[in-house]
């Protein structure tokens, strides 16, 4: 069977599984819809959390980033993993004892204000839509290549699947669907990594293969380590050595800021926090955090090896080839419009830091447009009078950039000429990763609007039936908006996701930490802090990335602050504003102070039942 046949088989089986689980898990009350009835076992919740966490950014784009950035790409591993540890140890148990449905629910009750709840709702929606944009783009990329349909059609199929199982089962259906999706995505990630490691180094363990020597038949009998070979190849082609630290715009300060933004953003992500509301007790919240870290580590500890293997294969299979010699994987991906070769006149593709004849398209490129760009480029080269003239800026002005990181992991099994069923399996895994996170994010948007805005502010007398109807209706609207982001993506997957982390760090992290560990912080300081943090961060990201604003250097940075790391500055601004206003504003009420005291006490001590009841009135 060919790749497309295997892909239809795997995708069909997995989609049928997801929809069956959703049907069996359908709910009829808001507690089941928003927090799965608080009855999810710790190990299952850990698996669902890992699936929710390992989005298209982790599965599709993270290894691609490491592959093209080399050592510096490790900041995504450090930031996302370190942030989850921070969330699990510092915040999750306390938030579970509060017993709320959502992050805005916690903010609204802790700061005893409808305005605080409304600001938190706006922040949650803004963060979630930013995050979901990356997931829908991942869905489109997978469908475009492996099912050979237009990216837009692929996004619509993904939208329909998510809508069905999110509206039927709510958090309960999403949780058990994510358990299934975890096994799909982790199997799809590990099998190709193991197969490629064996093919290149003879080691079945990818982590061992990363530090091992290449097989003698690949090196002419010489003993050459994989990473040494990559460093040599990178240097020969004009790139920085693969293992070199702090290269280009990734200086020490920007590496630190991005890593911190990812860590702090993780601890403020609404769709991750809500997972800890679904377990039975605080003890189960701690154990589910342990299980989630274990399940996450299986992919995260493999990603650096997959990235190195992909880098080796991509350069080896493309560089110096004529059009007739271009490999089959390239021809397959060229049909999607996500990769293209512009001949500089010598008839050979050269993937290097100094030439532009191997360019990648960050988005769907129609065949007619591709042909027009090629003809235009040839005409420009002829008129320039210089073979191989540097047309980099000219091509960027046409919307071309390279390389497209989001195809690297998906294309690696084809580069390594693995079996058709393995290539198809990775397509099912990419879809599982994107859809699992998208469903969690859509539920956050739904609960923020239906529970926190509609029920807790606009219509407190609404009954269960009406609240469920609004919740499901909001998911429908959110799915359509998410689909538009997939059709018109604002960037590559991990870049967009990193922006969401910065926004979460700047808005929710200080409010949650101070809400738990300080009884003195009241409504006005918390609201002003959240608004200043997310306002500053959003302004900087939009200005630098989309409106041509020059990055701020503060007189010490040559290239300025990376937009992916500016969330740390937003978080510090939030914290500064909140703490500066606290002495000037009224303290919270005695009821709120007792609530904060109670949540710090060990489980089984203090009025936990009162907190739980107040959250669910």
CA dihedral 316, 318, 320, 325 (to 10 degrees): 110
Residue 594: inside a domain? no
483 pLDDT exceeds 90? no
394 pLDDT exceeds 60? no
192 neighbors 412 (Cβ within 8 angstroms): yes
Tell me 565's DSSP state.
Answer: G
User: What's the rounded Cα separation, in Å, for the pair 232 and 215?
Assistant: 17
User: What's the rounded Cα separation, in Å, for the pair 363 and 247?
Assistant: 27
Is residue 347 classed exposed, middle or buried when 0-12, 13-18 and 19+ CB atoms within 10 A define those classes? exposed
What does the pLDDT read at residue 397? Answer: 56
Q: Where are the alpha helices (DSSP H) in 226-340?
A: 226-236, 252-266, 270-273, 282-300, 303-318, 328-334
Categorize the per-residue pLDDT at 156 as very low, low, confident or very high, splitting at 50, 70 and 90: confident
Lowest model confidence (mean pLDDT) among 152-156, 397-401, 471-475, 563-567: 397-401
Angle at the Cα of 131 (from 166 to 562), degrees rounded to 5? 170
384 pLDDT exceeds 70? no
State whether residue 570 is helix, strand or coil: helix
Q: Which residue has the higher pLDDT, 44 or 410?
A: 44
100 neighbors 515 (Cβ within 8 angstroms): no
604 neighbors 282 (Cβ within 8 angstroms): no
Write down the pTM of the prediction: 0.81
User: What's the rounded Cα separation, in Å, for the pair 455 and 461?
Assistant: 7
- In terms of Cα–Cα distance, which of 309, 315, 370, 306 is closest to 338? 370
Is residue 539 classed exposed, middle or buried when 0-12, 13-18 and 19+ CB atoms within 10 A define those classes? middle
Q: Where are the alpha helices (DSSP H) in 54-205?
A: 56, 63-69, 74-86, 92-98, 103-110, 114-146, 151-201
Place of tokens 């830091």: 353
Angle at the Cα of 101 (from 98 to 105), degrees rounded to 5? 75
The number of distinct structural domains making up the chain is 1
Residue 386: inside a domain? no
pLDDT in tens, 287-304: 888 898 899 999 999 999
Q: Which of 160-169, 278-287, 384-393, 599-608 has the highest mean pLDDT?
A: 278-287
99 neighbors 273 (Cβ within 8 angstroms): no
Categorize the per-residue pLDDT at 125 as very low, low, confident or very high, splitting at 50, 70 and 90: confident
Tell me 279's DSSP state.
Answer: B
What's the token pair of residue 470?
């609004």
CA dihedral 462, 468, 469, 473 (to 10 degrees): 120
Q: What are the beta bridge partners of residue 361?
A: 400
What's the token pair of residue 269?
């992500």
Q: What is the torsional sign of CA 152, 158, 164, 170?
A: negative
338 neighbors 360 (Cβ within 8 angstroms): yes
How many CA atoms within 13 Å lie on the side-chain side of 221?
Answer: 0
Is residue 549 classed exposed, middle or buried when 0-12, 13-18 and 19+ CB atoms within 10 A define those classes? middle
- In terms of Cα–Cα distance, which of 63, 96, 91 is closest to 77? 63
User: What average pLDDT does range 517-526 have in this prediction?
Assistant: 92
What does the pLDDT read at residue 411? Answer: 84
What does the pLDDT read at residue 357? Answer: 36
Place of tokens 């363990």: 205
User: What's the rounded Cα separation, in Å, for the pair 272 and 52?
Assistant: 7
What does the pLDDT read at residue 44? Answer: 92
Categorize the per-residue pLDDT at 577 as very low, low, confident or very high, splitting at 50, 70 and 90: very high
pLDDT in tens, 315-356: 888 777 877 888 888 877 777 666 766 665 567 776 666 543
pLDDT in tens, 51-81: 887 877 788 778 888 888 888 888 888 888 8
What does the pLDDT read at residue 615? Answer: 41
519 neighbors 582 (Cβ within 8 angstroms): no
Residue 137: inside a domain? yes
Is residue 571 classed exposed, middle or buried when 0-12, 13-18 and 19+ CB atoms within 10 A define those classes? buried
Residues making up the chain, counted from first to last:
617
Residue 577: inside a domain? no
Region of 349 on the Ramachandran plot (φ > 0 left; ψ -120 to 50 alpha; else beta) = beta
What does the pLDDT read at residue 537? Answer: 93
| Secondary element (H or E) of residue 400 | strand 400-401
State whether residue 340 is helix, strand or coil: strand
Domain ranges, residue 265: 3-309+417-490
360 pLDDT exceeds 50? no
pLDDT in tens, 426-452: 888 888 888 888 888 888 888 888 888
Categorize the per-residue pLDDT at 472 as very low, low, confident or very high, splitting at 50, 70 and 90: confident
User: What's the rounded Cα separation, in Å, for the pair 321 and 574?
Assistant: 53
208 pLDDT exceeds 90? yes
Parallel, antiparallel, or unpaired: how do β-strands 358-361 and 340-341 relate?
Answer: antiparallel
Residue 566: inside a domain? no
Tell me 214's DSSP state.
Answer: P
Q: Which residue has the higher pLDDT, 600 or 510?
A: 510
Q: Which residue has the higher pLDDT, 568 or 21?
A: 568
Residue 392: inside a domain? no
What does the pLDDT read at residue 607? Answer: 46
362 pLDDT exceeds 50? no
pLDDT in tens, 231-262: 998 888 778 889 988 877 788 888 889 899 98
Q: What is the torsional sign of CA 226, 232, 236, 239?
A: positive
What does the pLDDT read at residue 371? Answer: 65
User: What's the rounded Cα separation, in Å, for the pair 76 and 80?
Assistant: 6
Residue 591 neighbours by CB under 8 Å, 6+ apart: 112
Region of 561 on the Ramachandran plot (φ > 0 left; ψ -120 to 50 alpha; else beta) = beta
User: What's the rounded Cα separation, in Å, for the pair 426 and 97?
Assistant: 39
DSSP 317-378: HHTT-BGGG--HHHHHHHTTTS-EE---SSSB---SSS--SEEEESS---HHHHHHHHHHHH
Lowest model confidence (mean pLDDT) among 84-88, 133-137, 224-228, 389-393: 389-393
Percentage of residues of the chain with pLDDT beyond 70: 85
User: What's the rounded Cα separation, in Å, for the pair 552 and 550?
Assistant: 6
């Amino acid at each position: 069977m060919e790749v497309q046949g295997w892909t239809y088989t795997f995708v069909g089986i997995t989609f049928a599984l997801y929809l069956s689980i959703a049907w069996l898990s359908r709910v009829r009350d808001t507690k089941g819809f928003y927090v799965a009835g608080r009855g999810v076992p710790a190990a299952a919740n850990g698996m669902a959390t890992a699936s929710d966490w390992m989005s298209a950014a982790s599965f599709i784009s993270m290894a691609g980033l490491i592959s093209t950035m080399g050592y510096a790409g490790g900041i995504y591993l450090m930031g996302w993993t370190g942030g989850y540890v921070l969330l699990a140890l510092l915040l999750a148990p306390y938030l579970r004892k509060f017993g709320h449905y959502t992050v805005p629910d916690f903010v609204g009750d802790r700061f005893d204000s409808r305005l605080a709840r409304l600001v938190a709702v706006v922040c949650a929606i803004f963060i979630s839509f930013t995050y979901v944009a990356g997931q829908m783009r991942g869905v489109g990329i997978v469908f475009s290549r492996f099912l050979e349909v237009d990216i837009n059609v692929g996004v619509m199929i993904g939208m329909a699947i998510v809508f069905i199982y999110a509206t039927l089962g709510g958090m309960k259906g999403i949780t058990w669907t994510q358990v299934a999706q975890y096994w799909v995505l982790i199997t799809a990630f590990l099998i190709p990594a193991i197969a490629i490691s064996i093919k290149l180094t003879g080691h079945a363990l990818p982590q061992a293969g990363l530090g091992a020597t290449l097989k003698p038949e690949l090196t002419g009998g010489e003993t050459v380590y994989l990473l040494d070979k990559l460093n040599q190849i990178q240097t020969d082609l004009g790139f920085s050595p693969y293992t070199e630290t702090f290269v280009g715009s990734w200086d020490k300060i920007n590496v630190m800021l991005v890593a911190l933004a990812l860590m702090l953003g993780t601890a403020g992500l609404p769709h991750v926090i809500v997972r800890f509301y679904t377990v039975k007790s605080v003890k189960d919240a701690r154990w589910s955090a342990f299980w989630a870290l274990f399940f996450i580590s299986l992919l995260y500890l493999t990603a650096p090896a997959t990235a190195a293997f992909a880098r080796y294969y991509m350069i080896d299979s493309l560089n110096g080839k004529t059009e007739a010699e271009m490999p089959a994987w390239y021809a397959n991906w060229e049909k999607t419009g996500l990769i293209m070769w512009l001949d500089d006149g010598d008839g050979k593709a050269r993937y290097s830091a100094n030439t532009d004849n191997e360019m990648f398209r960050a988005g769907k490129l129609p065949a007619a447009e591709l042909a027009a760009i090629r003809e235009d480029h040839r005409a420009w080269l002829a008129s320039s009078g210089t073979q191989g003239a540097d047309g980099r800026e000219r091509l960027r002005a046409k919307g071309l950039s390279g390389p497209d990181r989001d195809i690297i992991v998906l294309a690696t099994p084809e580069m390594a000429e693995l079996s058709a069923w393995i290539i198809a399996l990775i397509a099912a895994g990419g879809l599982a990763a994107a859809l699992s996170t998208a469903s969690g994010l859509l539920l956050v948007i739904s609960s923020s609007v239906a529970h926190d805005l509609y029920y807790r502010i606009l219509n407190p007398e609404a009954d269960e039936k009406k609240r469920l109807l609004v919740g499901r209706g909001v998911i429908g609207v959110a799915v359509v908006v998410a689909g538009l982001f997939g059709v018109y993506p604002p960037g590559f997957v991990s870049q967009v996701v990193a922006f969401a982390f910065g926004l979460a760090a700047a808005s929710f992290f200080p409010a949650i930490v101070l809400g738990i560990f300080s009884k003195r912080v009241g409504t006005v300081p918390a609201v002003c802090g959240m608004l200043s943090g997310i306002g500053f961060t959003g302004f900087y990201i939009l200005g630098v990335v989309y409106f041509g604003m020059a990055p701020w250097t503060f007189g010490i940075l040559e290239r300025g602050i990376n937009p992916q790391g500016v969330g740390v500055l937003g978080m510090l601004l939030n914290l500064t504003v909140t703490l500066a206003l606290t002495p000037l504003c009224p303290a919270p009420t005695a009821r709120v102070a007792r609530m904060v005291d109670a949540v710090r006490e060990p489980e089984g001590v203090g009025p936990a039942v009162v907190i739980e009841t107040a959250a669910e009135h």
